Amino acid sequence: MKQKQIDCRCVVLLMCVVVTYATMAVTPNGRRPATCVHGPIDESHTVHDLGSHVEIRDNQGKVVKIVGPCEFPNNYVAPLPSGWAAYVYDQGTGPTINTYNGAWTVPPNPKDMGAQTLFLFTGLQDNFSMDRRSRKDIPSVTNIIQPVLQFGPSEAGGGTYWSMASWYVDSNLNAYYSALTKTMPNNNIQGNMIMNQINQVWSIQTIDTTANQMTTLNIATNTTEPWAFVTLEVYSINTCNEYPTGSVTFDNLVFNPSQSPSWNLQVTPGCNENVVVNSPVSVTIDF
């Protein structure tokens, strides 16, 4: 059983106020109460976002779980660094995106392995806010679908190794993930987000094409997802040696219907984080 964290804050006259809040879990879209993170979701199930709540349904359409809005702690302040350290974004202006695929290679392990968590992913959102590294760490009301490469721990699991999972974060601040699968440096990752245009369900596929392994999450967002991203997100980085050395390049960034994104850069450097747009189909993130 997870323990509640206790923060004892002393004020005048040596009075001590005890503030409790639920254990906060790391996800690739911010920290959240652990009770608001759900998974692993089996591939035979689909997450249906109905706006006011979410229904998780089996392959017969039976509702197996209902998830209401996440109750975020009042006045929660996240430790820094916390959030998207380097990323590019583009708002599609053509026909509604129903596919976004990309490929990248697993970087080497960091020189120093502490408590850090690194996420590298492509993603699609229904909306967008620039406030991605706020100490309040409470995102704006958006959803995001993401095939994610991860180093370190998250609520999905993990440790001092690279792993991968597919994620969805709804507009009520709940997060859902597929089974976490280990991978290795130099393995090739394929991240696919493909909508079935008959039932309007997204298949979020994170694939290790070197090891022939895949982890999938099925999502009906019930919204369009016009905002595209390539992102480095970090937590609990204490020294620059807790990053890998070098860079990772996301290639073959392909959309359907076909479009040529005009990537916009956003960087909040603490070490050598940087983004280079090589072309509309290739983006490099430096550590």
pLDDT tens for each residue of 126-157? 988 765 544 444 445 689 999 999 999 999 99
Task: Say what the pLDDT of residue 141 is.
Answer: 61
Contact between 162 and 35 (Cβ < 8 Å) = no
Task: Say what the pLDDT of residue 3 is.
Answer: 37
The CATH number given to 28-286 is 2.60.120.1270
Task: Say what the pLDDT of residue 218 is.
Answer: 98
Mean pLDDT of the chain: 87
Per-residue pLDDT averaged across 216-220, rounded? 98
Three-state DSSP class for 281? coil
Task: Say what the pLDDT of residue 72 is.
Answer: 78
Three-state DSSP class for 55? strand
Task: Say what the pLDDT of residue 253 is.
Answer: 98
Residue with the bigger pLDDT between 2 and 45: it is 45
Residue with the bigger pLDDT between 65 and 18: it is 65
For the range 66-71, what are the long-range contacts, defined as Cβ-Cβ under 8 Å and sequence gap of 24 or more? 67/38, 67/172, 67/174, 68/172, 69/172, 69/173, 69/174, 70/32, 70/33, 70/35, 70/36, 70/172, 70/173, 70/174, 71/33, 71/36
For residue 116, pLDDT over 70 is answered with: yes
Residue with the bigger pLDDT between 244 and 5: it is 244
Task: Say what the pLDDT of residue 31 is.
Answer: 86
User: Could you read off the pLDDT of 179-205 as tens digits, one per residue?
Assistant: 999 999 999 999 999 999 999 999 999
Residue with the bigger pLDDT between 93 and 168: it is 168
Task: Say what the pLDDT of residue 1 is.
Answer: 35
Residue among 259, 218, 3, 248 nearest 105 (CA): 248
